[in-house]
Every structure is written in structure tokens, then in C-alpha cells.
Structure 1
């Protein structure tokens, strides 16, 4: 218990410290690259530097965890795939649009993200679990949670606050390094996100979701994996409705 508490404290500190350091460094070196700028829902210009920052922070925060070999690569892969979509994405949204384009021979940035994060989730699940069914379920939970957090990221602070909230129940069983890593990265950037100075973008939302999903997958057995997998699949199927409801809800 004491060792796990120590690991969890280190995970939180690493994730929060690295996130702030990377974010501050990117802001200093911005150099007018407008590909890392967006206009948010309220018409304000914000940067996308929070995304790479939380991806690096959450990945580093996963290193004290015993399951770091699964968690850190999954977080980084989700962040890279999300960053690719941030910089190269088009107007198409949702699985159906991107899969339809893929059937027509066009590889969209959304398809790259979908396939890349899906593969990373399955690879992480294979490292986390022993039985084939559990490996697949864990992969679905990891990739699906990454997608879920991205669906929530439709207004300032929504995704970061969701990660902080969803990470809390697992801590009731005791300190968990992976959960603390995702919380540390989210906590480090939530003020700037709420202040509309930055946004997580796909890079940050997917990275935080992958970190949270890996924590959930590693902590649950077959029944828990089935329940969580069903939840994230349902969210993916009804993704547009989920995003619209969150966008319209008050803080």
C-alpha cells in the first residue's frame, strides 16, 4: 500500500510537471505557426499546445506504474494520431463518414486516427491481460475511452474535468498510478482550458482518454471490462448525440 501510494504521488507529480513544462515551452516557441491555432466555439483564437503537453505529461506519468509498458505507448500513440487529425483534419465527422471514405479508397485523417488508436488500444490490451477475450475487451475499453473523452471535448474544460471526475471512483479502491497520471495531466491544463487560452484538441483529448482507459482496463476483470466496453461502444454509436448534449449543457 505504501509503495503504491508513493508510485501514485510520483505519477501525479510527473504528469502535472511535465504537462506544464511542455505547454510553457511550446507557447514560448510558437513562432506564428497558425496550424496550431484554432477559433473556438465563441469565436476566440486559442492554441492547440495543450494537446501535445498532456500527451507527453500523461505518458511520463504512466512510467511509475507497473503497467507502464502498455500505458505509455498507448497514450503517445493516441496523442500522435490525434495531433495528425488536428493538423490535417477536414469537415467530416463521425465513424461513418471516415469509414465510408475509406471504402471509396480515400484515407482520411479520421481513418488514420481510428485505426491507429484502435491498434494501439489492442496492443496495450494484449500486454495487460492474459486471456484472448480479455485482451480484446481491454483494447476496446482503451480505444473507446480515448474516443469518449474526445466526444466530450466540445466546450472549454469539459474533457479535462470529465477525466478528473471519471478517474476519482477508481481511487476509492486505493491510489492507482495510471489514474493519477491522467488526473495530473488534466489538472495541469484545466485552468488554461477553462480560461479559453488553449484547447486540448484531438491530441490531448485522445491521450487523456487513452490514459484513463488503460487505468480502467488494468483495474478490472472480465465483468468490469464487459460493462465498460459496452458503455464506450454505445457512446461511439451515439457520438453525435453525446457531443450535442454536452455542448448544450451548462458548466
Structure 2
């Protein structure tokens, strides 16, 4: 217990320190990182690399070797592919449907690379995480006892777990449309998910440390996560969530993620949040008025 608490504290401090260091590095004002946000202000994309670096540095201290490897893999690849879309963006397609439509017509955009590459990386991370991570009954154990689990049952569980990781990465990207929104969602999910000491303590501390480090500048609107930070944050949380839930719970979470992703193609999350009491106040909390 003491070892876990110490590891969590150190991991959180590492995440905080690395995020702050990158956030206030010369990269912040480099012309390649400056973009115009929804309000017409110049903002820096440095927060994405900063949060990704903080998450990776702190996640090195995750106790379980499989969970550590899966988290580092999912977070780094999701952040890297997000960076490709942030800093080398090509094509005018937007949203999941737009990127897939462009790909179907033979147009390979940076967005298409991201929406295909992240699920592949997520499934590999899920395979690394392994079905033993939950140490509970499997998704398909109602068909066969756990001890008789076949290769196809393990494959289904791996795909479902990969879907949770990729779906969470995508959801956080969809949320990163207003200052602080994705960070708040990350803190809420990390704080409210069921907790197993050896599974969630260190990852939650890392997410908390990096989020606190980025919080003032993000809420001020001077920097933004972009695809780099939002995808990395979502992948890290999705991996922790997957390691913490039973396979059946992962299936439920995946269904919710798929539903939200499909809904985002038709409905604006910002419109829903701003018209819903409670969500509106949480979303606006701490945000600088410009």
C-alpha cells in the first residue's frame, strides 16, 4: 500500500513537472505551433506535446508490466498520430465520416491516417494488456466456462478492449472544442471510475498531475490540446478504464462510445452542453472570459 502511494505521488509529480517544462519551452511560441481557435484568437498547440510527454513520463511508474506497456503504447501512438494531423494536416475532410469517405475515394489524408492508425494501435495495446488484466469472468463466459475460453473468445475480448481505448481517444478529441473541456472530462472519468489500488492509483495520479499542470493555460485559452493531447489523454484513460473493468463492462462502455461517436456526426456536443443546466456550469467553470 505504501509503495503504491509513493509511486502514485512520484508519478503525479513527474507528470506535472514534465508537462510544465514542455508547456513553457520555446516550442510554445514557435510559428509551427500557433493556430487560430474558435474565437479567432492565436493559440499554441504546445499543450498537446506537453500533456503527451507528461503522461508518458509518469506512466513509466505503473506497477503492472502489461498495463504499463499497453498504456505507453496506446498513449504514444495516439499522441504521435494526433501530432501528424495537428502539424501536417492535409485534406479538407472533417469528422469520422469525412475521413473515411475521403479514404474510400482514394484520398489519404492525415485525418484518415489517424482514424485508422489509432484503432490498430489500440488493439495491439489491448492484446498486450491481455484478458488476465481483469482476473474476472470473461465477456463470453456465458457460452463457455472461463477455463475453456477459446481463441475466438479471447479475440473478441481483445477487439472490444481495443475499441474502448480507441473510442475514448476519439471521444476526448471530440470534446476538445472549448478551453478546459477535455481536461475536466479526464479528471471526472479518472476520479469516478471504479478503483482497484494496483490498477488505477498511478495512472489516475499521472492524469491528475498533467491536467493540473496544463489547467491554467488551457482554461485561459492561450494553449490547446489539439489532436495530439486529446488523443493521448483519451488513450491513457481508456487503457486504465479497460484494465479496471470486467470484459462485460468494457462491452457496455464500448456501446456507449460508439453511440456518442455516431451522435457527434449529427449533433453538436457544444450545443448540447451549453443548453443543459449543470453541464453548462461545469463546462464554463474556470474559463477565462474573453
When normalised by structure 1's length, the TM-score is 0.92
Is 1:245 matched up with 2:271? Answer: yes
Distance change (3 Å), C-alpha of 1:31 and 1:183:
closer
- Count matched residues: 248
Match of 2:175 in 1: 152
Report the aligned-residue RMSD. Answer: 1.8
Displacement of 1:7 = 2.2
Q: Partners of 2:29 and 2:159 in 1: how far apart?
A: 43
Match of 2:69 in 1: 69
Q: Partners of 1:30 and 1:8 in 2: how far apart?
A: 28
Give unmatched runs, 5+ long, in structure 2: 132-153, 285-290
Distance change (3 Å), C-alpha of 1:213 and 1:47:
same
Please list the CA deviations of residues 170-223 of structure 1 after superposition, one character each: whole Å capped at 9, or x if unmatched.
365545212222222122101100111101101010010011101101111112
Distance change (3 Å), C-alpha of 1:211 and 1:146:
same
Which residue of the other structure, out of 188, 193, 212, is the alignment partner of 1:187? 212
Secondary structure of 2:61's aligned partner: coil
Matching of residues 1-251 of structure 1 within 5 Å: 1-25=1-25, 28-30=26-28, 32-33=30-31, 35-65=32-62, 66=64, 67-89=67-89, 90-130=91-131, 131-170=154-193, 172-174=195-197, 176-240=201-265, 241-245=267-271, 248=274, 250=280, 251=284
Displacement of 1:32 = 4.0
Please list the CA deviations of residues 40-70 of structure 1 after superposition, one character each: whole Å capped at 9, or x if unmatched.
1221111000000101111111111122111
| Contact map agreement 2:183 2:211 (CA 8 A) in 1 | yes
Displacement of 1:10 = 2.1
- Structure 1 window deviating more from structure 2 (90-99 vs 43-52): it is 90-99
Displacement of 1:88 = 2.8
Distance change (3 Å), C-alpha of 1:30 and 1:185:
closer
Q: Partners of 1:185 and 1:95 in 2: how far apart?
A: 28
Highest CA radius of gyration, 1 or 2? Answer: 2
- Structure 1 window deviating more from structure 2 (198-207 vs 240-249): it is 240-249
Give unmatched runs, 5+ long, in structure 1: none
| Contact map agreement 1:186 1:208 (CA 8 A) in 2 | no
- Structure 1 window deviating more from structure 2 (116-125 vs 169-178): it is 169-178
| Contact map agreement 1:152 1:242 (CA 8 A) in 2 | no
When normalised by structure 2's length, the TM-score is 0.80
Please list the CA deviations of residues 64-95 of structure 1 after superposition, one character each: whole Å capped at 9, or x if unmatched.
11221110121011111111111233432111
